[in-house]
């Protein structure tokens, strides 16, 4: 299966278990990989035969900047559901990264990855 990849989308949201995360908010980085057949789009060079990246970005943005969740697992689940609802894809992989997680120590990010199919 072919894939469309949107990597490193950054948004500000209010997700987290701790009160300060829900009050102050923080940066989230989201990657999505959409599985679909891109052969017709490749052969015809017709934008109607693929998924509009800008629309995918907006859908992800609406979820991440929208209603707060306690868990990034819930954020990832909402992103996956919205993509499956709005786009003709057979599978979606979603990564939600939390670079500012309130955990002592040095790390690039903490995150989750989920894969959902139709």
Q: What is the pLDDT of residue 84?
A: 98
Identify the pLDDT of residue 27. Answer: 98
Answer whether CATH 2.60.40.10 is correct for domain 2-117.
no
pLDDT value of residue 29: 98
Q: 97, 30 in Cβ contact below 8 A? A: yes
Known catalytic residues are 98
* DSSP secondary structure code for residue 108 in this structure: S
Q: DSSP alpha helices (H): ranges in 10-97? A: 19-24, 39-44, 53-64, 72-86
Q: How would you write the pLDDT of the chain (118 residues) with one tens digit per residue?
A: 999 999 999 999 999 999 999 999 999 999 999 999 999 999 999 999 999 999 999 999 999 999 999 999 999 999 999 999 999 999 999 999 999 999 999 999 999 999 999 9
Output the pLDDT for position 22: 93
d(CA 87, CA 57): 12
Global pTM reads: 0.96
């Amino acid at each position: 299966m072919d894939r469309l990849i949107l990597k490193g989308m950054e948004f500000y949201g209010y997700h987290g278990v701790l009160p300060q995360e829900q009050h102050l908010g923080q940066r989230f980085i989201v990657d999505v990989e959409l599985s679909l057949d891109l052969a017709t789009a490749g052969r015809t060079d017709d934008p109607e035969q693929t998924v509009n990246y800008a629309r995918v970005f907006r859908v992800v943005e609406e979820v991440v900047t929208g209603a707060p969740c306690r868990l990034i697992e819930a954020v990832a689940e909402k992103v996956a559901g919205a993509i499956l609802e709005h786009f003709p894809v057979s599978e979606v992989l979603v990564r939600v990264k939390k670079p500012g997680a309130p955990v002592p120590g040095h790390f690039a990010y903490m995150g989750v990855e989920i894969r959902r199919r139709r």
